[in-house]
């Protein structure tokens, strides 16, 4: 039996992204003529037949973009990354005269997949921006299979448009700073271990210690929730194990650690991510990596709706804010 031609096959043959093929199929105006001709030629060569989603998008636009958030409203809207990125996404979508639909999943990935599938099958959205990537992300796999225009913030394993920081390099440089400040026994405290961003930052941590020939093992690696309470609770373990420094993946965790160390009258060097007000006003100085969440959000919209059809990803620079 002859294998069914997919939108991925057309994209590969035309040398463009899956999202661009979807735009051509959907008759979107923001595709230049040469790109449109390349895609149409690939469609003609392969005999590709668009699925029901693409056909629906071609005949009816909802002018609504879904933004997928992998946690509850309380946790996400209490985290500066989501606040800043959503502000930028909302502002940019408004410029394109698009509405935003927030989809919360509370870290229940089965629930996330179900909600996204329902939205697409009922033709309620024109595109998706997903604010995180999990290992073996089933939601992204499904989005790719439907051909709906999609951008993710993070490092996906699928052929999908994305915007990201170089999180491995950023954490490597952050950890090297701790080492330059005399760090000898350094812990890593990350968020959800299912998130690719956590794993990428852990890799950077390991690379920095390997390069400096500083001892560590898996017992130096901790995974906690993205909350102040999580950091506060893990701090006692760090104190018991005499760590002199800690590299965190989020300022919320770092602030909780600093708060507990300060209560105990203990000292520790801390570096983290997101450069929030918490890191600025912490009782123990927290150096922090500014990931430019607003630019991540803005670039996500530009990739989704902009006219640069050959651009498949964007990497946003980071900047360490040193505090002592």
Higher pLDDT, 11 or 86: 86
178, 172 Cβ separation under 8 angstroms:
no
Residue 302 has pLDDT above 80, yes or no: yes
Helices 228-240/251-264 angle, 10° precision: 50
Contact between 155 and 313 under an 8 Å Cβ cutoff? The reply is no
226-259 pLDDT, tens digit each: 999 999 999 999 999 999 999 999 999 999 999 9
Query: Does the pLDDT at position 108 exceed 80?
Result: no
The domains located in the chain, with CATH, are: 7-50 (1.10.260.40), 64-164+294-316 (3.40.50.2300), 167-290 (3.40.50.2300)
Per-residue pLDDT, 309: 64
Q: What is the pLDDT of residue 24?
A: 83
CA-to-CA dists, residue 26 to 6, 32, 56, 227, angstroms: 15, 14, 8, 42
Residue 267 has pLDDT above 60, yes or no: yes
Q: 3-class DSSP state for residue 18? A: helix
Give me the percent of the chain exceeding a pLDDT of 70. Answer: 94
Q: Between residues 26 and 11, which one has the greater pLDDT?
A: 11
Q: Which two structure tokens, joined as six digits, stand for 59?
A: 């005949």
Q: What is the pTM of this model?
A: 0.82
| pLDDT confidence tier of residue 53, bands split at 50, 70 and 90 | very low
| pLDDT for the residue numbered 311 | 80
Instruction: Please give the distance of CA 165 from its chain centroid, rounded to a whole number.
Output: 9
Residues 15-25, mean pLDDT to the nearest whole number: 82
Q: Is 42 exposed, middle or buried (0-12, 13-18, 19+ CB in 10 A)?
A: buried
pLDDT digits 0-9 by tens, 165-207? 999 999 999 999 999 999 999 999 999 999 999 999 999 999 9
The pLDDT, as a whole number, for residue 54 is 47
């Amino acid at each position: 039996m002859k294998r069914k031609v997919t939108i991925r096959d057309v994209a590969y043959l035309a040398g463009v992204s899956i999202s661009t093929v979807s735009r051509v199929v959907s008759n979107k105006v923001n595709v230049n003529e040469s790109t449109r001709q390349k895609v149409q030629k690939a469609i003609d060569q392969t005999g590709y037949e668009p699925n029901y989603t693409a056909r629906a998008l071609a005949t009816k636009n909802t002018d609504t973009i879904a933004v997928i958030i992998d946690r509850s409203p309380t946790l996400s809207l209490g985290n500066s990354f989501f606040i800043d990125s959503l502000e930028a996404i909302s502002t940019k979508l408004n410029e394109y005269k698009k509405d935003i639909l927030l989809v919360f999943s509370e870290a229940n990935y089965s629930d996330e997949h179900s909600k996204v599938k329902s939205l697409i099958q009922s033709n309620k959205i024109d595109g998706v921006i997903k604010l995180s990537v999990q290992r073996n992300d089933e939601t992204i796999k499904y989005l790719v299979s439907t051909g709906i225009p999609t951008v993710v913030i993070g490092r996906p394993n699928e052929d999908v448009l994305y915007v990201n920081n170089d999180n491995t390099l950023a954490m490597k440089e952050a950890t090297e700073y701790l080492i330059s400040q005399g760090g000898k026994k350094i812990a890593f405290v990350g968020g959800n271990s299912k998130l690719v961003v956590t794993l990428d930052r852990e890799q950077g941590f390991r690379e920095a210690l390997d390069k400096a020939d500083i001892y560590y093992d898996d017992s130096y690696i901790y995974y906690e929730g993205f909350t102040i309470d999580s950091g506060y609770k893990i701090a006692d373990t760090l104190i018991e194990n005499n760590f002199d420094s800690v590299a965190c993946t989020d300022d919320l965790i770092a602030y909780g650690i600093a708060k507990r160390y300060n209560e105990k009258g203990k000292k520790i060097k801390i570096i983290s991510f997101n450069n929030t007000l918490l890191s600025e006003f912490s009782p123990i100085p927290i150096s922090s990596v500014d990931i430019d969440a607003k630019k991540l959000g803005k670039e996500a919209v530009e990739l989704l709706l902009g006219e640069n059809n050959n651009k498949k990803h964007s990497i946003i620079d980071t900047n360490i804010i040193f505090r002592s």
